[in-house]
A and B are shown apart, each in its own frame.
Chain A
Amino acid sequence: MKCLETEKLISYAYRLTDELAASQVRAHLAECPRCREIVQQHARLDALLDEWKAAEPTPRFDARVRQAVEAQQARRDARSFWGWDGARGLALAALGVLIVAGALWITLSHPWDSSSSRVATRQHHPMHGPQTPPETAKIPSPDGTAYPGVNSAQAVRELNLTGASSNEDKDALALEDYDLAANFDLLSELPKGQARVAN
């Protein structure tokens, strides 16, 4: 007699098969001592495995789970108290403060911007004859280097203190005395073409 496949025998031993297949295996086992022995060995194994007993949780286990769940719930409650709206509002407020602070910083740290405009206007005015180089960019320091972006009035004061050359000194003083409003009117009255030529 041909023996059954081991898988069929194991399926039968561990009740992994349907009743029809089980009845076929039972019929075979009645006539096949070899297959019967394999099934009996698995039945003994099944009983033997029962001796590996379950482990009880320690007495603190339930309390630990409850604590973990409560902690999780507390974190969640805290998050929902502030909530997404609250967090978004805080973020926007922080952004607003940053923008205002940035604008203030730029304003306070660059007070020379307005005088630079005056210098630029003065350079292109025809009343002053030949164009002069922009003072803010080319006022030399005593050691021969330029003062880039220096306030012209401040530069004049520095030149006086350091005894700079007289031509440059006069030019700087003229710049300080230059009346922007009055000269601006002259500039605006010029015909367009003339203004373009002057430029």
Chain B
Amino acid sequence: MAIESDLDLMLRVREGDAASFEILLRRYRLPLVSYFRRMVRDQGLAEDLAQEVFLRVYKSRERYQPEARFTTWLYRIATNLALNAIRDRRDEVSDTAGDDSEGGPVLERFVDPQPTVEQRLMQGDRERLIRQAVEALPENQRAAVILHKYQEVDYRQIAGILSVSESAVKSLLFRAYETLRVRLEPLRREGRI
């Protein structure tokens, strides 16, 4: 049986076909939860946000216009929700920890509290260090890297998701990957990763 395209499924959802929505749910549940988990780290919040994306897709099914790729639309909703959640949480932290316009250090302090012994055992230092390095990136760079590296979204499509030009996306990715190299390469040399 041929795999139905997202577009065909979404057009059928628009006509009220619940089965097509179910296929989209199964197709994108893991990518979306993973995306949010990497963006906001907290598993509960990641699932709440992923659920909100599906709900918004369902609510706006009648207004859906197949002008862009379905995944561009899906990840645009997801990215807006993730960035808002990050800003909301950073604002909460700023109230008690002071302002930090760069976003990175405050976010790092917030999203990466000292892990418990159990978490260290389960997670491993390598993964934790990688996660810390990515989470310390400014919001847009982090979104661009996670979309590009982990969600395997093409940089042209990322431009549509972030509503910026393609050259701006390349610039975000250059700076993000170079920052990660500078941060992680010394740890590799020290044998920590």
Interface residues of A (CB under 8 A from B): 6-7, 10-11, 13-14, 16, 41-42, 44-46, 48-49, 51-58, 61-62, 64-66, 68-69, 72
Contacts and interface: CB of A to CB of B under 8 A. Distances in A.
Given A14-B173, A16-B170, A52 B47 contact: no
A10 B178 CA distance: 8
Interface in B35-54: 37-38, 43, 46-47, 50-51, 54
A92 B52 CA distance: 37
B97 interface: no
Contacts of B30: 54, 56-57
Interface stretch (B2-10, B82-90, B109-117, B124-132): B124-132
Interface residues of B, number: 38
Nearest to A52: B130
Given A45-B177, A57-B47, A68-B54, 19 more contacts: A10-B173, A10-B174, A11-B174, A16-B155, A16-B170, A42-B177, A46-B149, A48-B193, A49-B130, A52-B131, A54-B34, A54-B37, A55-B34, A56-B33, A65-B50, A69-B21, A69-B55, A69-B58, A72-B59
Nearest to B35: A54
A57 B170 contact: no
Contacts of B33: 55-57, 61
22 contacts: A6-B174, A10-B173, A11-B174, A14-B173, A45-B184, A48-B126, A49-B180, A52-B38, A52-B127, A52-B130, A52-B134, A52-B150, A53-B127, A54-B30, A54-B34, A55-B34, A56-B30, A61-B29, A65-B51, A65-B55, A66-B25, A69-B58
Interface of B: 21, 25-26, 29-30, 33-34, 37-38, 43, 46-47, 50-51, 54-55, 58-59, 126-127, 130-131, 134, 148-150, 155, 170, 173-174, 177-178, 180-181, 184-185, 188, 193
**SS class, residues of chain B in contact with chain A:** helix
A57 B50 contact: yes
Nearest to B52: A68
A32 to B, nearest CB: 17
Given A51-B126, A52-B38, A52-B131, A41 B174 contact: no
Contacts of B51: 61, 64-65, 68
B46 A55 contact: yes
B44 to A, nearest CB: 9
Contacts of A52: 38, 127, 130-131, 134, 150
